[in-house]
Amino acid sequence: EIETSLFFLSPRITLDLLIIKTSVALTILIKYLRDNGTKMSQDQQAVNGVSCVSKVLTLDTMNPNVRRVEYAVRGPIVQRAVQIERELREGVKKPFTEVIKANIGDAHAMGQKPITFFRQVLALCSYPDLLEDNKFPEDAKKRARRILDACGGHSIGAYSASQGIECIRQDVARYIERRDGGIPSSPDNIYLSTGASDAIVTILKLLVCGEGRDRTGVMISIPQYPLYSAALADLAAVQISYYLDEENCWSLNVEELRRALKEAKQYCKPRVLCIINPGNPTGQVQSRQCIEDVIRFAKEEHLFLMADEVYQDNVYADGCKFHSFKKVLFEMGPEFSSTVEMASFHSTSKCYMGECGFRGGYMEVINMDPQVKAQLTKLVSVRLCPPVPGQALLELVVNPPQPDEPSYSTFMKERTAVLAALGEKARLTEETFNSVPGITCNPVQGAMYTFPCISLPQKAIDKAKEEGLIPDMFYCMKLLEEEGICLVPGSGFGQKEGTFHFRMTILPPTEKLKVVLQKIRDFHLRFTQEFS
């Protein structure tokens, strides 16, 4: 290192230093560098390519809120799954030939086919020359021309208005009106977004303020979708956890909301209540009575309601029905519909569409202060606009083929088949898990996931602690290593102390799902025996 540094000195000094003892050389070198450091270039301050200047951005100097963010759906188990896939490609021998990622609700990655009409219109929008091709149906061409006419330069490659393309927002409003039995919806209250997640985080940004005991508290369900806890950590908001009732099919009890709120008032200012319906990761569908109770509670406690309704078409269980929070709110009368502030969210990523990669979505705001709404519009304008192809896809979701159009029959056949298959897989999953000793699974009433409770032997719990792992993480990691099945441990979503779960999507094709369920069954029995 001394010789490397001496390279930068004058030849005469270098020669003198090299012929004396190393200790003396080091002393002279340090003095020389100190006296002449301002004259040295930045390149000369590097030794063996390593800068002597400390990094500007380190773990100590970075935003501490980001360090607190966790997102279990793509956490350590998923990272290990990716490594295993690489090892399999490199010829490493495993007890399995593929990794099945049942950790995330990515329908197309699991083999679900796109809806034909959607992809036809998107192809036409992406390459307008195809409008002259007689292979495409006329209703698809009509939709494509309408979308292109609303785009700058007739191209989906152009920016749109920050709130979203106007004619698409109009169609979203009409879609909401049809869904809710004629209750009015204004396009001025519609904001198109980069999936529902982007809109959820945007609303939370508006709501979070204060310091200390006045810091905004946000009520989220436990188990919850990790987007919420991650966003709250990033915004330095206070998470207020309320627990769903696992003994009653993950239902929401207002008394539990009251308990959580009362405790939270000791250390923060509760301002927001988040509801996911149908539920993720728990798959429950809230009853109309439950929704009414939640709205009354929000009004009494002066809370802003956030209704995450991205699975609204995914309802499978007999006797269950999706009720939008907005519809129930307005049917409760002006006392509620004119006062309760709310934002509801939908996405093109779920339901029968499964078009996760296009990142299309919207939110509707209700009873928002006009001045705050202007700030919301300003905030979304900073991001310029949502992806225009995603906006185009959303247009097709809210304005699908009609009975008198040529694409209607195929569209309805494909839509019905997807939802029917999901319903069958929901029942299959519940039945299979409940047949395994030590696994208890509530009915999958809706959404795309099951969240079974697993009984773990004490020896397994102790072993997990020895390895520095949460017990259900230990369980899921062993399942991945031994069977190639990638699940998410329940601890990543939150759960009652002393209980253990995992989340699994029901999206794999039926035959592959049967394989997954059998592998989990075999593993659980083997795991239980190993640690008994």
List strands edge to edge, sheet with 449-450.
449-450, 502-505, 488-489
Residue 38 has pLDDT above 50, yes or no: no
Neighbours of 508 (CB within 10 A): 21
Burial class (CB in 10 A: 0-12, 13-18, 19+), 464: buried
Task: Assign 53 a pLDDT band (cuts: 50, 70, 90).
Answer: low
Enumerate the β-bridge partners of residue 47: 50
Closest CA to 147 of 170, 121, 172: 121
Range of weakest confidence among 43-47, 88-92, 390-394, 436-440: 43-47
pTM, full prediction: 0.84
Q: Cβ contacts of residue 319 below 8 Å, gap of 6+?
A: none
Q: What is the pLDDT of residue 409?
A: 96
Distance between CA atoms of 457 and 321, rounded to whole angstroms? 38
Tens-digit pLDDT profile for residues 2-32: 444 443 444 444 434 344 444 444 455 445 5
Tens-digit pLDDT profile for residues 113-142: 999 999 999 999 999 999 999 999 999 999
Enumerate the β-bridge partners of residue 46: 51
Task: Assign 280 a pLDDT band (cuts: 50, 70, 90).
Answer: very high
Asked if the 161-398 domain carries CATH number 3.40.640.10, the reply is yes
Average pLDDT over residues 182-203: 94
Q: Pseudo-torsion of CA 89, 90, 93, 98, nearest 10°?
A: -10
Average pLDDT over residues 146-154: 94
Average pLDDT over residues 271-295: 95
Task: Assign 383 a pLDDT band (cuts: 50, 70, 90).
Answer: confident
Residue 50 has pLDDT above 70, yes or no: no
- Which residue in this structure is represented by tokens 């008198």? 404
Written as six digits, the tokens of 267 are 């250390």
Domain ranges of the chain: 1-112+416-532, 114-158, 161-398
Task: Assign 57 a pLDDT band (cuts: 50, 70, 90).
Answer: confident
Residue 180 has pLDDT above 80, yes or no: yes
Q: Residues of the chain with pLDDT > 90: what percent?
A: 72
CA 32, 33, 38, 39 dihedral sign is positive
Residue 298 has pLDDT above 80, yes or no: yes
Domains 1-112+416-532 and 161-398 share a fold: no
Which residues of 69-188 form beta strands (DSSP E)? 100-101
Task: Assign 278 a pLDDT band (cuts: 50, 70, 90).
Answer: very high
Q: What is the pLDDT of residue 31?
A: 56
Closest CA to 397 of 387, 417, 413, 411: 411
Tens-digit pLDDT profile for residues 215-245: 999 999 999 888 898 899 889 899 999 999 9
Q: Which helix (H) or strand (E) holds 505?
A: strand 502-505
Residue 37 has pLDDT above 60, yes or no: no
Tens-digit pLDDT profile for residues 334-362: 999 999 999 999 999 999 888 998 999 99
pLDDT: is 495 or 2 the higher one? 495
Q: What is the pLDDT of residue 35?
A: 56
Q: What is the pLDDT of residue 78?
A: 87
Q: What is the pLDDT of residue 7?
A: 38
- Which residue in this structure is represented by tokens 């299309």? 360
Q: What is the DSSP string of 442-453?
A: ----BTTEE--E
Q: What is the pLDDT of residue 21?
A: 45
Q: Pseudo-torsion of CA 130, 132, 137, 140, nearest 10°?
A: 60
CATH class given for the domain over 114-158: mainly alpha
Annotate 146-165 with three-state secondary structure: HHHHCCHHHCCCCCCCCCCC
Q: What is the pLDDT of residue 51?
A: 54
- Which residue in this structure is represented by tokens 């519609």? 190
Q: Residues of the chain with pLDDT > 70: what percent?
A: 89
Range of weakest confidence among 62-76, 199-213, 452-466: 62-76
Q: What is the DSSP string of 300-332?
A: HTT-EEEEE-TTTT-B-STT-----HHHHHHHT
What CATH architecture applies to the domain 1-112+416-532? Alpha-Beta Complex (3.90)
- Select the highest-mean-pLDDT range: 35-44, 67-76, 146-155, 489-498: 146-155
Residue 83 has pLDDT above 80, yes or no: yes
